[in-house]
Structure 1
Amino acid sequence: MDQQAGPLRQERHGAVLVLVIDAPPVNALGHALRAALWQAIEVAEADATVGAVLIRAAGRTFPAGADISEFGQPPRAPQLPDLCDRIEACPKPVLAAIHGTALGGGLELALAAHARIARADAMLGLPEVTLGILPGAGGTQRVPRLIGAEQALRLMLTGKPVPAAEALALGLLDGVVEDGLEVAALRLAEGLVGRRLTATRDRREGMRDGAAYQAAVAAARLAQAGARLPAGARIVDCVEAAQLLPIEQGMVFERAAFADLVATPEAAGLRHAFFAERAAARFPEAKAEARPVAQLGVIGAAGSDLALLALQAGCPVVLVEPNRPQLVEALERIAAAQETAVQEGRLTPAARDADWERLTPALGAAALADSDLVLVADAGLLAEAAEAAPPGAVLALTGRGALPDSPRASDMIGLRLVGGRLAELAVGPQTAPEAVATARAVARRLGLLCLRAAAPGGIAGRVMLAGRAAVTHLLAQGEAPARVAGALRGFGLPQLAPEAAAEAPETGASAGRIIAQVLSAMANEGARLLERGIAQRASDIDFALVAGLGFPRWQGGPMFWADQRGLLILRRDLAEWGQEAPEIWAMAPLIADLAAQGGHFADHAAQAGSGQKDA
């Protein structure tokens, strides 16, 4: 009889108890799910009619990881490491059936089972290092026991997932099926009834060659020497401990390292950046339906880079430029970029030829008649594009500035590349929700991250410009370029650092004060963008800087920096420095208001987005 209890559904198939994880959207291992799994394992162990347990997941994926929102909160039993130990200690065989992505805590849960089978398109990985932490539920101890130090360290230090076939070859999986995972897993579980399998903690396949294991640890430790973030070195320590310590002590060592890393400022910054990226994906136009885009138009030779991205994404592209020499130059730029990609092995000659076949150059805007979205790279050609593009086609302006008044204002949106990886979608007051959804879908198809802004947009550039203005002022006031450059590079902002000799004089502002002045100017400009409604939330500003202009991810962003430091301190500093250079540090009213309430930028973001639906 099937039973549904919160995030876990139980099914009986003869002697096999099937535990179906059902906690959408990604089956994250939150407290309720952990408690339900623990109870189910207890019941299975006590029930003499249960001979094996199968853990699988409903929806699109096996648990994609731990519930990151619980990090930094008081722990609630059962914690994930304890749950994994409880599953591993079950005297009856436990099988994990994996589809989608088994990442972080999800993979650690599967590793605690006695056997693992996956669908061929599944991906497995341990990406905790990207959050400044390490696998904390036995991953650093169980994985090297199965696959050795070299491959375990590769998984943990890069954070990159591997496909199921590679995971099988490495030894993380016991089987892979092309389809029919549920049936195959149940058949395997039935075959395990009555058998006693070796627990992962007791396996040693990856430790047979002790010298190779130590050599891999030594090489990884050398590679981590001088690293800015501490997580990598602690991962190496834990993998070494897996060989040197009994499993119980190794687990304690791992948990202590995990707790240390979670509390570091770098991990806090990386968590903030992670959630900022998630929040940026939430658009007010979430329910709008994107219009189909079968052909992309680009008007203006300056749009050749976007045309190239579209070709790489498999889109048919019409490139219009009325000036013949400029059109030829644009085509040559595209061809040169393709040839470079071929020489570097990033593109095959056949793929290059296929891309070129999808490109149609034209001198007249009439060629845009069948385009569903037109990227307008030359504002002077907007009128021609608007006349030639069919009704309902989106007109996406790639230049800076406000969206112009036009009879087609509902079809118009700004789509600006920031740093080659981020697309800022600047939405005008008349832009139709369907146009926003369409532009977003196209940007994602081109492999770009998306940020919604109110027109005229320019979030990342405005905030970075404020930082550069602060740097220029410091230099004009006699601050040594080497001291300013050293402070900025130390923080992770070499793009703001002036050119300077290596040595800095003994006198001058401290590195901390330099960083405070530059970051305060950036946070102050960010506050103005929030006041004007150009940015939806403070975390969007941080996301724009991190994703678009290389602000160090582990520092979170200028708004996060200001919140961590405290808005009372920011208000005090701006009041002082604003007298010296009001054009840079004159306080945004929002900062004074939030500081007076003991608030944070994050509080304002929550209020601003409270009436919006998640995408």
Structure 2
Amino acid sequence: MTSPVRTELHDDVLVVISDNPPVNALGAAVRQGLKDGIKEGLANDGVKAIVIRCDGRTFHAGADITEFGKPPMGPSLPDVLDEMERAPKPTIAAIHGTALGGGLEVALACNYRIAVPSAKLGVPEVKLGLLPGAGGTQRLPRVVGVEQALEMTVFGNPISAKAAEASGLVDRLVEDDLAGAAIAFAREVAAKGDHPVSSARTDKLPDAAAIDGIFEAFTQKNGRKMRGFDAPAANMRCVRAAAEMPYEQGVKVEREEFMKLMTGDQSKAQRHLFFAERQAAKIDDVPKDTPLIDIKKVGIIGAGTMGGGIAMNFLSAGIPVTTLEMSDDALERGRGVVGRNYAGNVKGGRMTEAQAKGAMDIWTGTTDYADLADCDLIIEAVFESMDVKKDVFGKLDSHVKQGAILASNTSYLNIDEIAAATSRPDAVVGMHFFSPANIMKLLEVVRGAKTSDAVLATVMALSKKIGKVAVVAGVCDGFIGNRMLKPRQVEANKLIMEGAKPWDIDRVFVEFGFPMGPFQMSDLAGLDIGWHRDESRIETLRDELCAAGRWGQKTGKGFYDYDDSRRGSPSDEVEALIAKWAEKESRPQRHVPDEEIRERCLYTMVNEGALILEEGMAQRASDIDVVWIYGYGWPRYTGGPMMWADLTGLDVIVAGLEKHAAEMPEWPLSQMLKDKAAKGETFN
């Protein structure tokens, strides 16, 4: 096979060029090519310096992830980079696009780095539950200092070439002709007597007396963000080794930590999600060449919190939006909310004033359906009532041009019934955004029985343009996410009647890795949402809580009592009310162990996910994982509910469900789950 790496001799400079589309990943053939290129440069006495660069749109953007889990093929990247760093002739990395992960490690093993201003540099391995395992955790602190190395390795976010130059990671920026500039730079540095070797540097490392303080301050500042994840702590241990040990000892620590992560469940789960997100964008039975509808203008029905958030997605992407409301006052309130959100983005440095103004300039409001006539996509974001939604879609059908997509933001309702209110059910689709819609990445795209391939493909492609992670769902109550939320909430509510305290259930969820538990979530959202508002009609515990003004954080009391800073504490009043309702419903009280809370609340969700797959309401198990990671705060390091079940063992899940079957008669055990457990299979 032809090597993806070639060499070009420019008089006294040898250029080693990788051409391995799409991102010049460092697969075995590329690693061998780099090794051979360095060897060629060293063997030629006329060569004074060696330049490493890439063709295509980027420098090496990381390891070849398809090699993960397979038998290793030589040469290993650590061995190649050690050889590169030991070369007696200067090596220069010429960086464009992104130098990420192993790509940045290649650049660090070179003596010098030159880059274009648009380049990005980083080590994102932590996002796959890993660490830079080719000396990156040891060379990076020596080049940029421990504080910068901690930020880069623990969080994995890339930095700009300009920031890299300021930290010493990049030696020179060039505006254009990177290839020519790199050769000229190589000749310039070749004349020097010695050259910086990353692994040998100590000038950026802190004094021994300062090391404890640096790591304690970093942990105190970032501990909450790292909670539950193994990889950030492993990256910290490796950076600390770089600060305290010679390079040869530090790389041994790095290798040990890397292998522990690579073989651990968290990295398996996070690598699973990497592929799952990409797989979710594919629709199995829609041809890849399906023509897309050109979306030049979007209409949105409703200027409330959800409607405004949805509008921002399109406005920020440069797509004009017309929002329809019932009154000018409602429009003005909606515009004010969107304006304040953009002002907050500017203040937080997430966009410039010019970008915010540009987005607001392409927003228009109306109270007349006729003004939506030229829209290519209209999204309804009104009250969650079938009658209201059918009325809206009937009006859209009579005002909006043929060929336009009609979408509902419903979170539960039947898309096919909504579509039946129009004369073009093939144009109707669900677009379930999650609140706050301008921030949350998940978009459930609900495929109706008659939704056309072109409509579905267009919405999936558009979701990427507006920065969403889209998952296709079928028509069923609650689709994927809210359907699986139901058994969790039902069981949590039953458990507090049996003796578990709301705060104990929430604690189990937080310890599992959720940002909050179900009762904390209820207080945050508001217990009054969907309440009938009749204070004399007390039929449930929730009715009594609402009638007593315990609506959640907004009234300072819900399941919890809240102080002025909205910090919650267990409520004696709620505990007494729960005891009252348990007695009224003849529910004997008992101690409920944490294990039972997990099994009844989480195992039932896995079972519901299996039923969703059985019914064809989700294309694949990994789609369910994507929904719960991006929409509901399921802990990323478990890979999502279905991957977590795989790692736990489906036989364990089935045994737990069967153990509690008497307490949970409303959740029939999935035949798919039972069969897979019996055969020792997994969902993913």
Normalised by the length of structure 1, the TM-score is 0.88
Structure 2 matches for 1:170-249, cutoff 5 A? 170-192=167-189, 197-207=195-205, 215-223=213-221, 227-249=227-249
Deviation at 1:347, TM superposition (A): 6.2
In structure 2, relative to structure 1, the CA distance for the partners of 1:44 and 1:508 (3 Å cut) is farther
In structure 2, relative to structure 1, the CA distance for the partners of 1:198 and 1:360 (3 Å cut) is closer
Matched with 1:613 is none
Matched with 1:479 is 500
In structure 2, relative to structure 1, the CA distance for the partners of 1:467 and 1:103 (3 Å cut) is same
- Aligned residues of 2:228 and 2:513 also touching (Cα < 8 A): no
Comparing 518-527 and 61-70, the one that deviates more: 61-70
- Aligned residues of 1:15 and 1:193 also touching (Cα < 8 A): no
In structure 2, relative to structure 1, the CA distance for the partners of 1:215 and 1:488 (3 Å cut) is closer
In structure 2, relative to structure 1, the CA distance for the partners of 1:239 and 1:324 (3 Å cut) is closer
Match of 1:414, SS?
strand
Separation in structure 2 between the aligned mates of residue 7 and residue 461 of structure 1, nearest angstrom: 47
1:566 to 625, 646, 649: 649
Whether 1:107 and 2:104 are equivalent positions in the alignment is: yes
Whether 1:397 and 2:408 are equivalent positions in the alignment is: yes
Amino acid corresponding to residue 496 of structure 1 in structure 2: P
Amino acid corresponding to residue 493 of structure 2 in structure 1: T
Comparing 69-78 and 335-344, the one that deviates more: 335-344
Matched with 1:124 is 121
Separation in structure 2 between the aligned mates of residue 390 and residue 491 of structure 1, nearest angstrom: 49
Separation in structure 2 between the aligned mates of residue 288 and residue 543 of structure 1, nearest angstrom: 24
Amino acid corresponding to residue 130 of structure 2 in structure 1: I
Deviation at 1:346, TM superposition (A): 5.7
Identity %: 37
Whether 1:461 and 2:482 are equivalent positions in the alignment is: yes
Matched with 1:598 is 680
Match of 1:385, SS?
helix
Separation in structure 1 between the aligned mates of residue 127 and residue 512 of structure 2, nearest angstrom: 18
Matched with 1:374 is 378
Separation in structure 1 between the aligned mates of residue 33 and residue 349 of structure 2, nearest angstrom: 49
Encode CA deviations 1:178-197: one digit per residue, 9 max, x unaligned: 22212222333344557653
Encode CA deviations 1:406-438: one digit per residue, 9 max, x unaligned: 442332221111243211111234333332333
Structure 2 matches for 1:156-167, cutoff 5 A? 156-167=153-164
Structure 2 matches for 1:72-471, cutoff 5 A? 72-192=69-189, 197-207=195-205, 215-223=213-221, 227-284=227-284, 285=286, 286-302=288-304, 303-324=307-328, 326-338=330-342, 352-378=356-382, 379=389, 380-400=391-411, 401=413, 402-403=415-416, 404-405=419-420, 406-419=422-435, 420=437, 421=440, 422-456=442-476, 458-471=479-492
Deviation at 1:535, TM superposition (A): 1.0
Encode CA deviations 1:306-339: one digit per residue, 9 max, x unaligned: 1233333332211122455544543444345445
Q: Which runs of 5+ in 1 are unaligned?
A: 603-615
In structure 2, relative to structure 1, the CA distance for the partners of 1:67 and 1:512 (3 Å cut) is farther
Amino acid corresponding to residue 394 of structure 2 in structure 1: A
Amino acid corresponding to residue 672 of structure 2 in structure 1: L
Separation in structure 1 between the aligned mates of residue 344 and residue 198 of structure 2, nearest angstrom: 47
Deviation at 1:80, TM superposition (A): 2.0
In structure 2, relative to structure 1, the CA distance for the partners of 1:112 and 1:410 (3 Å cut) is same
Separation in structure 2 between the aligned mates of residue 415 and residue 210 of structure 1, nearest angstrom: 56
Separation in structure 2 between the aligned mates of residue 94 and residue 324 of structure 1, nearest angstrom: 65
Deviation at 1:64, TM superposition (A): 1.5
Amino acid corresponding to residue 474 of structure 1 in structure 2: L
Deviation at 1:543, TM superposition (A): 0.8
- Aligned residues of 1:145 and 1:200 also touching (Cα < 8 A): yes
Matched with 2:631 is 548
- Aligned residues of 2:6 and 2:33 also touching (Cα < 8 A): no
Matched with 1:582 is 665
Q: Which runs of 5+ in 2 are unaligned?
A: 383-388, 521-558, 561-568, 576-588
RMSD: 2.9
In structure 2, relative to structure 1, the CA distance for the partners of 1:341 and 1:151 (3 Å cut) is closer
Separation in structure 2 between the aligned mates of residue 375 and residue 387 of structure 1, nearest angstrom: 15
Matched with 1:30 is 27
Encode CA deviations 1:209-250: one digit per residue, 9 max, x unaligned: 665566433422554668433333333332232232221111
- Aligned residues of 2:498 and 2:590 also touching (Cα < 8 A): no
Match of 1:205, SS?
coil
Separation in structure 1 between the aligned mates of residue 369 and residue 276 of structure 2, nearest angstrom: 39
In structure 2, relative to structure 1, the CA distance for the partners of 1:252 and 1:199 (3 Å cut) is same
Matched with 1:608 is none
Deviation at 1:132, TM superposition (A): 2.9
Amino acid corresponding to residue 406 of structure 2 in structure 1: L
- Aligned residues of 2:374 and 2:401 also touching (Cα < 8 A): yes
In structure 2, relative to structure 1, the CA distance for the partners of 1:350 and 1:234 (3 Å cut) is closer
Comparing 90-99 and 74-83, the one that deviates more: 74-83
- Aligned residues of 1:298 and 1:320 also touching (Cα < 8 A): yes
Normalised by the length of structure 2, the TM-score is 0.80
In structure 2, relative to structure 1, the CA distance for the partners of 1:180 and 1:342 (3 Å cut) is closer
Match of 2:666, SS?
helix
In structure 2, relative to structure 1, the CA distance for the partners of 1:11 and 1:508 (3 Å cut) is farther
Match of 1:370, SS?
coil
- Aligned residues of 2:105 and 2:136 also touching (Cα < 8 A): yes
Separation in structure 2 between the aligned mates of residue 517 and residue 30 of structure 1, nearest angstrom: 44
Separation in structure 1 between the aligned mates of residue 216 and residue 481 of structure 2, nearest angstrom: 41
Give the number of equivalent residue pairs: 597
Match of 2:296, SS?
coil
Match of 1:297, SS?
strand
Match of 1:5, SS?
coil
Match of 1:63, SS?
coil
- Aligned residues of 2:499 and 2:592 also touching (Cα < 8 A): no
Deviation at 1:261, TM superposition (A): 2.7
- Aligned residues of 1:148 and 1:213 also touching (Cα < 8 A): no
Deviation at 1:559, TM superposition (A): 0.4
Match of 1:207, SS?
coil
